[in-house]
């Protein structure tokens, strides 16, 4: 059978009062690895990142996201939502660097993992290097299976368990794109997610 391997390496620089938004939907293939780096080089710069990963079968994802605040009064947001089923594996690393003197920085990152099977595994590795004092740097990571009460609520409304699970997964992954302010980009990402999940159910 065909095993697709995909690698990606980005390096972005954000200047004064500029806003950079990016959304990544990581689906399909066998192995994916990405190294995504973002540099805030001047005051007023903003970075917003949404990452959604759907692992199936024996798929392996490895995503490294780095956000580097070189100066103060800059803002960054990273939301990474990962849903893993089968025997899939995901590793997500979020590295946040705030340089000396970069006071007034406002940075936050969160990794959420949804485990859909006993054989799935998802690891989140936050790395913080904060060298300034007057900053807001928030990070979080959590892993859980589908909430039984949520599943029961949907099945009690007439959905079968597979439909209910798909609805929960779709809502969970789509929420990764919440930081993206550009409505058209957010809508495109969510539409592509819906198509992927529909195809995944068929196959």
Q: Is residue 173 part of a domain?
A: no
Q: What pLDDT, in 10s, does the model give residues 14-59?
A: 999 999 999 999 987 788 999 999 999 999 999 999 999 999 999 9
Structural domain total, the chain: 1
Domain span at 23:
5-145
CA–CA separation, 49 and 36 (whole Å): 10
Residue 74: CB atoms within 10 A of its CB come to: 27
Q: Is residue 196 part of a domain?
A: no
Q: Is residue 176 part of a domain?
A: no
Q: What pLDDT, in 10s, does the model give residues 101-135?
A: 999 999 999 999 999 999 999 999 999 999 999 99
Q: Is residue 126 part of a domain?
A: yes
CA–CA separation, 103 and 194 (whole Å): 41
Q: Is residue 106 part of a domain?
A: yes
Q: Is residue 188 part of a domain?
A: no
Q: What pLDDT, in 10s, does the model give residues 138-150?
A: 999 999 999 999 9
Closest of 65, 125, 56 to residue 89, by C-alpha: 56
Side-chain half-sphere CA neighbours of 161 within 13 A: 5
Closest of 182, 38, 24 to residue 107, by C-alpha: 38
Q: Is residue 54 part of a domain?
A: yes
User: Strand 121-130's sheet: what is its strand order?
Assistant: 5-14, 31-40, 60-69, 89-98, 121-130
Q: Is residue 69 part of a domain?
A: yes
Averaged over 1-26, what is the pLDDT?
Answer: 88
Q: At what angle do helices 148-156 and 161-174 cross, to 10 degrees?
A: 120
């Amino acid at each position: 059978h065909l095993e697709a391997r995909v690698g990606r390496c980005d390096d972005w620089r954000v200047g004064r009062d500029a806003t950079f938004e990016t959304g990544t939907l990581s689906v399909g293939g066998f192995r994916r690895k990405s190294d995504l780096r973002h540099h805030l080089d001047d005051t007023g710069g903003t970075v917003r990142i949404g990452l959604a990963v759907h692992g199936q079968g024996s798929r392996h994802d490895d995503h490294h996201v780095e956000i580097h605040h070189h100066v103060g009064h800059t803002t960054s947001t990273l939301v990474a939502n990962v849903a893993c089923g089968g025997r899939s594996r995901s590793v997500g690393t979020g590295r946040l660097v705030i340089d000396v003197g970069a006071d007034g920085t406002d940075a936050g990152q969160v990794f959420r993992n949804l485990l859909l099977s006993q054989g799935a595994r998802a690891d989140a590795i936050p790395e913080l290097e904060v060298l300034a004092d007057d900053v807001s740097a928030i990070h979080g990571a959590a892993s859980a299976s589908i909430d039984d009460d949520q599943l029961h609520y949907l099945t009690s409304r007439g959905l079968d368990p597979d439909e209910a699970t798909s609805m929960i997964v779709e809502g969970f992954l789509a929420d990764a794109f919440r930081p993206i302010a550009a409505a058209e980009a957010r809508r495109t990402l969510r539409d592509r997610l819906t198509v992927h999940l529909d195809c995944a159910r068929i196959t």
